[in-house]
Chains A and B, each alone.
Chain A
Amino acid sequence: MHEIGLMQAALSVALDHAQTKGARQIHRLQLQVGELSGVDPDALAFAFDVVSNGTLAEKAKLELIPVPVSCYCSSCQQMFQPLDWVYECPCCHQLSADIRQGKALELSSLEIS
């Protein structure tokens, strides 16, 4: 359950930005959650309810945008989105470990007033 720590980190960044802008309230937080980020979205949402309590983000809506994994196939020299956890190129069926997208957990935007 490392999601509490990650949500605390995300909220702390959000609160810093909100305070710099002199905001009184955070209305919406948008996070991009990579499929391979090692984070469970439900646990993240639960963690948000806990850590946002008593902060400017207490009433904020949390939006979690899933980011699918994209891999690069060195044989076909093109990107592909794997269908499951086996990252197999749909053209040549070679396995890829060259993951170009889907690992990150990112605070993408914030709505404040």
Chain B
Amino acid sequence: MCGHCGCKNTRQTLSLHQNVLDKNDHYAEHNRVLFQHLLVLNVLSSPGTGKTTLIQRILRDCDLIAGADPLNRYQGVVRPGVIVGDLATNRDAERLRQTEQPVIQINTGNLCHLEAESVGKAAQQLTLDSLNLLIIENVGNLVCPAVYDLGEDLRIVLMSVTEGEDKPLKYPTMFKSAHAVVITKTDIADVVGFNRKETLEYLRLIAPQALIFELSATTGEGLTNFYAYLNQALSQRIAPAFV
């Protein structure tokens, strides 16, 4: 019987309103506590955009980042660590370790994105107390990683000049989640016929909240502006304790 009127209907409806991502969001909040003394970047893009190359450059240019802001907001030492996610292999971690900075590789198997729980576990393998910048290189994918909060401060979404100007129109969820969009490989923009004006217009329409940077991690052009942004983010996140 139903328990209300005594009819024979034994079915009952439970009203739940429970967020399906509750578990991941819970781990992300744990990570935020773990990361409270760090600036944490979640770096996202499709495969081959140049996430690893840009991170490699950042790891080598820590001194430049410390002096990058014209107002010198953050003048302390930048002490980075990296967590890098791929379906398979340690290749990216090995590339990044050439910079002699601490790097942890996560192999996700068949999973197309990083989740907060695995990032939290990987972070335990880094000496977090000795760092002030944590860079998380997500799995190359513009779809699934958009949904998962890892406990980051900033989401940095990359697109390269070779990928097509309409990338923001095709993957709006990801671009709308970005704090900053970085257009990479600008050194070959002319060769591949990159239409800068069109790209910037699509980004403005889809991601009006995002700051936009254009750079080449290979030649170094445009890096100064991006480093000034990181410098300011470091100062907001970790100053004054570490300045």
Q: Choose among A10, A36, A38 the residue that contacts B143 (Cβ–Cβ < 8 A).
A: A38
Chain B proximity of A100: nearest CB distance (Å): 13
Q: With an 8 A cutoff between CB atoms, is A90 at the interface? A: no
**Cβ B147 vs Cβ A31 within 8 A:** no
Q: Which of B200-237 contact A (CB under 8 A)?
A: 204-209
B208: nearest residue on chain A (CB-CB)?
A: A95
B91 at the interface (CB under 8 A from A): no
- Report how far A6 CA is from B25 CA in the complex, Å: 13
Contact of A13 among B12, B20, B143, B146 (CB under 8 A): B20
Provide the bound-state CA to CA distance between A37 and B173, in Å: 8
Is B173 within 8 A of A5, CB to CB? no
Report whether B14 and A36 are in contact in the complex, using a CB–CB cutoff of 8 Å. no
A interface, size bucket: 20 to 34
Tell me the smallest distance from the CB of B19 to a CB of chain A, in Å.
Answer: 6
A108→B15 contact, CB < 8 A:
yes
CA distance A88 to B169 in the complex (A): 15
In this complex, the interface size class of chain B, counting residues with CB under 8 Å from chain A, is 20 to 34
Q: How far is the CB of A111 from chain B (nearest CB, A)?
A: 5
Q: Is the CB of A109 within 8 A of B16?
A: yes
B20 touches A112 (CB 8 A): no
Q: How far is the CA of A85 from the CA of B170 in the complex (A)?
A: 10
A112 lies within 8 A of B21 (CB): no
On chain A, the residues within 8 Å of B23 by CB distance are 9
Is residue A91 contacting chain B, with contact meaning CB distance below 8 A?
no
Which residues of chain A have C-beta atoms less than 8 A from B13's C-beta? 28, 109-112
Q: Which residue of A has the minimal Cβ distance to B170?
A: A85
Cβ–Cβ contact B18 & A13, under 8 A: yes
- A113's partner among B10, B17, B174 (CB-CB below 8 A) is B10
In the assembled complex, B144 has its CB within 8 A of some CB on chain A = yes
Residues in A neighbouring B146, C-beta threshold 8 A:
38
CB contacts under 8 Å to B, within A86-102, are: 86-87, 95-97, 99
Pair A36/B173 contact, Cβ less than 8 Å: yes
Distance, CA A38 to CA B44, complexed state (A) = 15
Contact A86-B20, Cβ < 8 Å, known A27-B11, A37-B147: no
Hey, what's the 0/1 contact readout for B129-171 against A, CB within 8 Å counting as 1? 0000000000000011011100000000000000000000100
Complex alpha-carbon distance, A107 and B17, angstroms: 5
- Asked if A2 lies at the interface with its beta carbon under 8 angstroms from chain B, I say yes
Chain B residues, Cβ within 8 Å of A104: 19
The answer to whether A106 and B19 touch across the interface, beta carbons within 8 angstroms, is yes
Asked whether A6 and B143 contact (CB < 8 A) given A85-B172, A95-B208, A109-B14, the answer is no
Knowing A106-B17, A110-B16 touch, does A38 contact B206 (C-beta < 8 A)?
no
Query: A86-B206, A97-B209 given. 11 additional CB < 8 A pairs?
Result: A1-B144, A2-B148, A10-B20, A37-B147, A38-B147, A39-B147, A95-B204, A105-B19, A108-B16, A109-B14, A113-B12
Nearest 9 interchain pairs by C-beta: A97-B209, A2-B144, A38-B147, A95-B208, A85-B172, A110-B14, A113-B10, A113-B11, A105-B20
